[in-house]
A and B are shown apart, each in its own frame.
Chain A
Amino acid sequence: MRRLLVLVSLAACTALTIALALAVLVAAESAVVSELPQQLAASLGRSGVEHPTTAVLLNFRSYDTLLEIGVLVIAGMSGISLASTRSLEDPALRSSDVLLYALQRWFVPLMLLLAAYLLWAGSHRPGGAFQAGAVLAATGVLMRLGGLPMAFIRPGVLLRLGLVLGFAVFLLVAIASALAGEAFLAYPPGMAGGLILAIETVLTLSIGMILLALFVAAPVSAEHEPEEGGGS
């Protein structure tokens, strides 16, 4: 029975793959000309950044990015909601590798520098808040593995503030422009570049913090949530 199920699934997957490949070929053949690339090229000058991908992410389709950061915040807080309340630090998970410690002294400053560079580069070449935040989180992971104390990763108000800071600043800019009488998320003329850089900076911090918190959020809390109608 199980064997049959496996065979059927494999056959279905193969059939779907072939159909998809054909569909890709057909779609590529019958592609319709769209005016989107011209529109994008024409509006890039007013977006405040030179790199088109960053312009799409933080200006043209900034609503997507705002919601995407929301998704990250959800994941982060669901992660820490499952952790114990006292501290997210688990001494058992620290290693005291001499080599790791020696490497760390070189790597941590370099990685911080790299994160800062990626953030700055985002406005005119590949880079940006998420890449910088990911490097920042990787630095934190390395520090944790090496046993450096990280008192700020506690499920206290400071951690929650850190998680939500980038999202909150982004949202504040969005609402401020609406209160000023423009569309939501529209940057005031001339200020787009500066605002985007400011948003990206706080986003980097928050993204780094969320990813790190998700890495660290492991220990199980001793408290229990009884099921509804539990006990019987």
Chain B
Amino acid sequence: MSPDLLYALAGVGLCGIGLAGFLLLDHLLRRLLAFNLLGSGVFLVLVGLAQHRGGPDPVPQALVLTGIVVAIAATALAIVLIRRYFHLTGRTSLADAGDGQS
């Protein structure tokens, strides 16, 4: 097993942890962190798997860089929304407002 494949498998592990966190955590910031963990896992799979097939490959590296920027933009927007939501309602999760929406 090459180290590149090990990166990809570590990425798979991160995806699993991130997904579990995303589904199970109610606190908005924790959920956002879980999203970032999941994102890092996906990026590791993208680079590791491609690297395994033919050495360092600049295409997935560039894709991951683009992906990171998109993830940062989404994270930053989410934090701004969460901060304002917390400021207005004092809540840190979406669950406890309970309006019966399924």
- Chain A residues within 8 Å of B, Cβ to Cβ: 6, 9-10, 13-14, 16-17, 20-21, 24-25, 27-28, 31, 36-37, 40, 52-53, 55-57, 61, 64-65, 68-69, 71-72, 74-76, 78-79, 82, 128, 130, 211, 214-215, 217-218, 220
Pairs A-B, 8 closest by C-beta atoms: A17-B16, A52-B58, A56-B62, A75-B73, A214-B76, A75-B77, A13-B20, A31-B53
B16 touches A56 (CB 8 A): no
B5 cross-chain contacts in A, Cβ below 8 A = 24-25, 28
Separation of A79 and B53 alpha carbons in the complex (Å) = 41
In the assembled complex, 26 residue pairs joining A and B whose CB atoms fall closer than 8 Å, in A order, are: A10-B20, A13-B19, A14-B16, A20-B45, A21-B12, A25-B5, A31-B52, A56-B58, A56-B62, A57-B65, A57-B66, A65-B66, A72-B69, A74-B73, A75-B74, A75-B77, A78-B80, A82-B80, A82-B81, A82-B84, A130-B65, A130-B69, A214-B76, A214-B77, A217-B80, A218-B84
A52 cross-chain contacts in B, Cβ below 8 A = 58
Q: How many residues of B contact A (CB 8 A)?
A: 39
- Chain B residues within 8 Å of A, Cβ to Cβ: 5, 8-9, 12-13, 15-16, 19-20, 23-24, 45, 49, 52-54, 57-59, 61-63, 65-66, 68-70, 72-74, 76-77, 79-81, 83-84, 87-88
Chain B: minimal CB distance from A220 (Å): 5
Chain B: minimal CB distance from A222 (Å): 12
Chain A: minimal CB distance from B63 (Å): 8
Separation of A78 and B77 alpha carbons in the complex (Å) = 7
Chain A: minimal CB distance from B1 (Å): 9
Total A-B residue pairs with C-beta atoms closer than 8 Å?
Answer: 109
For residue B81, which residue of chain A has the nearest CB? A82
Provide the main secondary structure of the chain A interface: helix
